[in-house]
Amino acid sequence: GAGVSQSPSNKVTEKGKDVELRCDPISGHTALYWYRQSLGQGLEFLIYFQGNSAPDKSGLPSDRFSAERTGGSVSTLTIQRTQQEDSAVYLCASSFQANYGYTFGSGTRLTVV
Amino acid sequence: TQLLEQSPQFLSIQEGENLTVYCNSSSVFSSLQWYRQEPGEGPVLLVTVVTGGEVKKLKRLTFQFGDARKDSSLHITAAQPGDTGLYLCAGEYGANNLFFGTGTRLTVIP
């Protein structure tokens, strides 16, 4: 497709379970980003992939969070042993270059009950 | 830490009024972007400003980048209900990375 695709759009999970969130970026965009947005708040940076370079993981809030990007395209964000404070909208974005702007997906709304 | 503070945090105005939203930082950015986010959607890029003092206009929206490239403003003339949303500024730092501001939630009442 022409845009950034995220799945699932909504996920409800029980506390302690693992979840995987998927992001399919725009073809040709070498940079991919994950952000977290709590209700009504701004964007919290999680992780950034650029080409074949080692990812910038500096925003991951704990070692329960990890992400992969396979073949320079699709990315998966994994949250292990989910906690209620993990409930948020997880947004993925891709870009050709930062000053060209990011294109965001519609996000995955994660609810941990 | 590249802290971007936006003000006001919340703004509720009547249709037809003018408003200005501010984005301030102590850091210098190589470029600054403004996004608008509507409920249930990801942020959508409105504009990118690169040069200190630069002014860009997008219909009723006017964006300005501060001379020192540390701050920016967004002015909306004759606001309409369709302008309602969360406005986010984002500063570019390092290589290909953006730092997002705290956001301004605008409500335009018909």
pLDDT, position A66:
97
Nearest residue in chain A measured CA to CA from B34: A101
When pLDDT is averaged across residues B74-82 and rounded to a whole number, the result is: 97
pLDDT tens for B30-65 read 889 999 999 889 999 999 998 999 999 999 999 999
| pLDDT range class, residue B1, cuts 50, 70, 90 | low
Comparing CB atoms, the residue among A31, A42, A103 nearest residue B103 is A42
pLDDT, position A74:
95
Residue B70 backbone zone (phi > 0: left; psi -120 to 50: alpha; other: beta): alpha
Nearest residue in chain B measured CA to CA from A100: B48
Instruction: Copy the structure tokens of residue A42.
Output: 């701004």
**A91 neighbourhood in chain B, CB within 8 Å:** 42-43
pLDDT, position B95:
64
Nearest residue in chain A measured CA to CA from B50: A99
Window 90-109 of A, Cβ < 8 Å to B: 91, 93, 95, 97-107
pLDDT, position B22:
97
The answer on pLDDT for B2 being more than 90 is no
User: CB distance from A58 to chain B under 8 Å?
Assistant: no
pLDDT, position A20:
98
Percent of chain B surpassing pLDDT 90: 78
When pLDDT is averaged across residues B13-39 and rounded to a whole number, the result is: 94
Instruction: Please state, in angstroms and rounded to a whole number, the distance separating the CA atoms of residues B76 and B101.
Output: 19
When pLDDT is averaged across residues B65-87 and rounded to a whole number, the result is: 96
Instruction: Check CB contact under 8 Å for B42 and A4.
Output: yes
Instruction: Please state, in angstroms and rounded to a whole number, the distance separating the CA atoms of residues A95 and A104.
Output: 9
pLDDT, position B10:
96
**A56 neighbourhood in chain B, CB within 8 Å:** 97
| pLDDT range class, residue B3, cuts 50, 70, 90 | confident
Q: Give the HSE-up count for residue A57: Cα atoms under 13 Å, Cβ half-sphere.
A: 13
pLDDT, position A15:
97
Low-confidence ranges of chain A (pLDDT < 70): 1, 40, 98-99
* Measured CA angle at A47 (ends B33, A16), to 5 deg: 130
**Could you tell me the CA-to-CA distances from B97 to B66, B81, B89 in Å, in that order?**
20, 32, 13
- Write the DSSP assignment of A36-91 as a string of letters: EE-TT---EEEEEEETTSPPB-TT--STTEEEEESTTS-EEEEE-S--GGG-EEEE
